[in-house]
Chains A and B, each alone.
Chain A
Amino acid sequence: DVKVTQSSRYLVKRTGEKVFLECVQDMDHENMFWYRQDPGLGLRLIYFSYDVKMKEKGDIPEGYSVSREKKERFSLILESASTNQTSMYLCASLGDYQPQHFGDGTRLSIL
């Protein structure tokens, strides 16, 4: 079974901090994704990557950046956290064919 591991289940940070969310997958998948989940809005794509050092903007990239230095690891970075970035963040990986495999999510609160 594919395992996607997100480093934290719950995280509390302060406004203006730089925040790192880490995601690791164990299946040598090329494609990795970061989504944000908010009630009534479903999941929205922030960034994705289809190879090491490659990244593409999703639907809501503002205020975020990403890093993919190794194939198995995809990091989401909040450059200067703001309260409107309080949300559930979900990482996913994808091999040659759908479906995507998701981690358990990080519930991030920005105070």
Chain B
Amino acid sequence: GNSVTQMEGPVTLSEEAFLTINCTYTATGYPSLFWYVQYPGEGLQLLLKATKADDKGSNKGFEATYRKETTSFHLEKGSVQVSDSAVYFCALPGSARQLTFGSGTQLTVLP
């Protein structure tokens, strides 16, 4: 079945630093790919998505490009803020419309 391998955390950065969180996947075909974010004390929110190869999803300064050659969907942001501190999850659909998630990466941004 489909699976996701996500960079383990925690990750601690200073404000304005560059962020990369790695995500690779194993899947049949070319499913849509997602990044979700979970702020402290909240549920998951969709951060961005890409529906086909070479698509770039973007939102709130975050970007991720669907790379079928390397089966990757790495999350990047050029300049993180303290308010970006959260847990980030990479995900893709399974066989029954559920989502298969990576283990999550805790990001802490220090002022």
Contacts and interface: CB of A to CB of B under 8 A. Distances in A.
A58 B43 contact: no
Interface stretch (A61-69, A70-78, A97-105): A97-105
Interface string B88-105: 010001101111011110
Contacts of B43: 4, 6, 90, 102-105
Nearest to B4: A42
Interface residues of A, number: 25
B30 to A, nearest CB: 13
Interface of A: 4, 6, 31, 33, 39-43, 45, 48, 50, 56, 58, 90, 92, 94, 98-105
Given A33-B99, A48-B96, A50-B96, 13 more contacts: A39-B104, A40-B104, A42-B104, A43-B89, A45-B98, A58-B98, A92-B44, A99-B34, A99-B46, A101-B46, A102-B44, A102-B45, A104-B41
Interface of B: 6, 32, 34, 36, 41-46, 49, 89, 93-94, 96-99, 101-104
26 contacts: A31-B97, A33-B98, A41-B103, A42-B6, A42-B89, A42-B101, A42-B102, A42-B103, A43-B44, A43-B99, A48-B96, A48-B98, A50-B96, A50-B97, A90-B44, A92-B44, A92-B99, A94-B97, A98-B32, A98-B99, A99-B99, A100-B99, A102-B43, A103-B43, A104-B42, A104-B43
